[in-house]
Amino acid sequence: MERADRLEARRGDWTDGEPLLLVATCERCGQQRYLPRLRCPVCGGEEATDAPASGRGLCVAATRLHAAATTDGEEVRLVLVELDEGPVVMGRAHDDTLAPGDRARLSFRDDGRDGALVPSFAAERP
């Protein structure tokens, strides 16, 4: 199978309209990563196995965007979450209380423009 075909075959997450995040595990070294790549960034291995992420992790950063982030001028909150599987992912925050150091839980929300579902996080309450 051609390299580009292998990369295309590995799609099927939220970017394709499916409400899930995929974490790839390198079959050579076990490195886990988010976002498809032709080769492992650690060992260069070409084979990886995709599995759905648990959707839980630790919020490591949060910010607010004000300038033209939406057509109606509404503020957008972005967060970086280190998934329990290891990779760090970016998503929107739909919980104003979510802050760095909080446990976070993933859901998929309408982006408010074209109906696409985007990763969104909220604080995980016990």
Gap between the Cα atoms of 71 and 53, Å rounded = 31
Residues 36 and 79 in one domain: no
Both 48 and 106 in a single domain? no
Residue span of the structural domain in which 32 resides: 3-52
Same domain, 105 and 118: yes
pLDDT at residue number 11:
61
Domain count, the chain: 2
Statement to judge: residues 63 and 31 lie in one domain: no
Question: Are 47 and 60 found together in one domain?
Answer: no
CA distances 81 to 2, 6, 98, 112, Å, are 33, 27, 11, 22
62 shares a domain with 47? no
Asked if residue 62 and residue 114 are part of one domain, the reply reads yes
Mean pLDDT of the residues in the chain: 85
Q: What is the DSSP string of 76-109?
A: EEEEEEEETTS-EEEEEE--TT--TTSEEEEEEE
Number of H helices, E strands in the chain: 1, 8
**In this structure, what token pair is assigned to residue 6?**
């292998």
Residues 41 and 70 in one domain: no
Q: 63 and 117 share a domain?
A: yes
Q: What is the pLDDT of residue 17?
A: 83
pLDDT in tens, 20-70: 999 999 999 999 999 888 899 999 999 999 999 999 999 999 998 875 655
pTM exceeding 0.85? no
Residues 18, 39: one domain? Answer: yes
Q: Domain check: are 45 and 60 in the same one? A: no
CA 23 – CA 58 distance, rounded (Å)? 16
Residues 60 and 116 in one domain: yes
Q: Tell me: pLDDT of 110 over 90.
A: no
Residue 102 in this model has a pLDDT that exceeds 70: yes
What's the maximum distance between 2 C-alpha atoms anywhere in the chain?
A: 47
